[in-house]
Amino acid sequence: MKKIIVILSAMMLITVSVNAQIGVKYGLKAGLNVSQFGSGTLKGDGQPLDIEASGMLAGFHAGGMLNVNFGGLIGIQPEVQFSMQGETEDDGGETLKTTLGFINVPILVDIQPIPNLSILVGPQVGFNVYRSMSEDGVSVSGSTLDERLEAMGMKINTLDFAAVLGVQYTLLGHLTVGARYNFGLTPALGLTSVAKDAGMSLSGGAHRVIQVSVGWFF
């Protein structure tokens, strides 16, 4: 009986110690996006066509974050955020703008080399929920845009994967300021099955997004 009491007491002490070391906090964040499509290559029956990186588009992001620290150097920070990103193109003196809204879910490792400073790195998956293209004051969005792109053998990829690298500093235990770079791994635009059957392929042209944000941990 004494042995059982000793074992239970030890387990309770270990549980309390572990819980004391793990810190959990949640918060909200918002900020500025500067985004573009990276360079790519379109291949068909003829000579491959190199596509230059697009112009920059200003947008925003906003969402929630959860930070779990395991007692010192390492933690994790999953987030859910709405991100407005895309690109601009110069089309004969007119500006063609592509605006895409994503629900992005980054799952980031939080490395803290010094107190309050976090280096955040990890994968991100994004789900497209809004899309539009505009030129000379005329905008096309949603299913209408999908139909026009499909007629050209193209489509907007609604699932996006990216690698994220950033830094975040926490002031007074609550206020955060941060910057990060989202390096897309999925082409922003893809080809329809009809275009692929015709021997066409498209590589590159993935999202490139710089984010600057402020947030608050409760």
Domains and CATH numbers, the chain: 23-217 (2.40.160.20)
127-182 confidence digits (pLDDT tens) = 999 999 998 878 999 999 999 999 999 999 999 999 999 999 999 989 999 999 99
For the CA atoms of the chain, what is the radius of gyration?
23
- Over residues 187-216, the mean pLDDT reads 94
pLDDT class of 46 with cuts at 50, 70, 90: confident
Q: What is the mean pLDDT of residues 114-138?
A: 95
Beta strands in the chain, from DSSP E residues, in sequence order: 23-37, 40-43, 49-51, 57-69, 74-91, 94-114, 117-135, 138-141, 154-156, 159-171, 175-187, 189-191, 201-204, 206-217
Condensed to tens digits (0 to 9), the pLDDT of residues 92-112 reads: 778 899 999 999 999 999 999
Query: What count of other Cβ atoms lies within 10 Å of the Cβ of residue 162?
Result: 22
Q: Render pLDDT for 4-40 as a digit per residue (tens, 0 to 9).
A: 444 434 434 333 344 447 999 999 999 999 999 999 9
Please tell me the predicted confidence (pLDDT) of residue 83.
98
- Taking the C-alpha atoms of residue 134 and residue 139, their distance in angstroms, rounded to an integer, is 4
What does DSSP say about strands 189-191 and 201-204: parallel, antiparallel, or unpaired? unpaired
pLDDT per position as a tens digit, 62-86:
999 999 999 879 999 999 999 999 9
